């Protein structure tokens, strides 16, 4: 089990790919939504966007890769397809073990680039929603990951200075975000086996 440094007074976790093994489900939802518009989303490209809000991913693909996806319609469809799979979600056991270990001993939050609707449903499907004192999502901040806003807001809601928080992340943008917030950062990819 991971050792948390002594100065840490709050724990902040990303959701998708950190607490919940949802990345394959998200990829299936993206692929299906894109196929409806005769576009593809290469898996290697998908993982590079980990942590970025759905709408921003679509905007970026349209701007930088010449896609012609209707932004809001594609985002809504992708979220709908993912929601239909939520019953399949599995926990990432080493990280969930940490959540249980520190429950009631240290304030904990989730800081996700997803929407509150899907993040809360994912956590509820894993019986974890009530373990966190705060759930901060892309709905709550102006600037998503890699900006530090989402982690800073999570620390604020826990009433713990950001420098006294440990952030657990699996995506490069999320790792940048947590570092920019001044947190102790744990890259969970070697622990979870995620790309």
Distance CA 164, CA 60 (A): 33
Bond into 146 cis (ω within 30): yes
Q: For residue 41, what are the contacts with CB-CB under 8 A and spacing of at least 6?
A: 27, 30, 31, 34, 61
* 103, 129 Cβ separation under 8 angstroms: no
Q: For residue 144, what are the contacts with CB-CB under 8 A and spacing of at least 6?
A: 51, 52, 53, 56, 113, 138, 150
Catalytic: which of 6, 14, 21, 140? 14
Q: Is 6 a catalytic residue?
A: no
Distance CA 46, CA 36 (A): 17
* 69, 45 Cβ separation under 8 angstroms: no
Q: Which of 131, 161, 140, 187 is nearest to 14 (CA)?
A: 187
* 130, 123 Cβ separation under 8 angstroms: no
Distance CA 51, CA 2 (A): 23
Active-site annotation, residues? 14
């Amino acid at each position: 089990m991971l050792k948390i440094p002594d100065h840490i007074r709050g724990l902040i976790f990303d959701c998708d790919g950190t607490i919940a093994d949802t990345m394959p489900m998200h990829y299936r939802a993206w692929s299906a939504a894109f196929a409806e518009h005769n576009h593809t989303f290469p898996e290697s490209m998908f993982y590079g966007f980990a942590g970025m809000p759905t709408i921003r991913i679509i905007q970026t693909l349209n701007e930088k890769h010449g896609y012609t996806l209707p932004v809001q319609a594609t985002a809504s469809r992708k979220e709908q397809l993912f929601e239909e799979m939520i019953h399949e979600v599995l926990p990432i056991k080493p990280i969930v073990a940490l959540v249980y270990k520190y429950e009631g001993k240290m304030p904990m939050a989730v800081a996700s680039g997803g929407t509150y609707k899907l993040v809360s449903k994912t956590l509820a499907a894993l019986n974890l929603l009530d373990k966190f004192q705060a759930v901060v999502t892309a709905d709550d901040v102006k600037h998503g990951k890699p900006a530090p806003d989402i982690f800073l807001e999570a620390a604020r809601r826990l009433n713990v200075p950001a420098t006294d928080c440990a952030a657990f992340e699996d995506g490069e943008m999320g790792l940048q975000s947590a570092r920019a917030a001044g947190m102790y950062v744990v890259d969970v990819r070697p622990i979870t086996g995620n790309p």
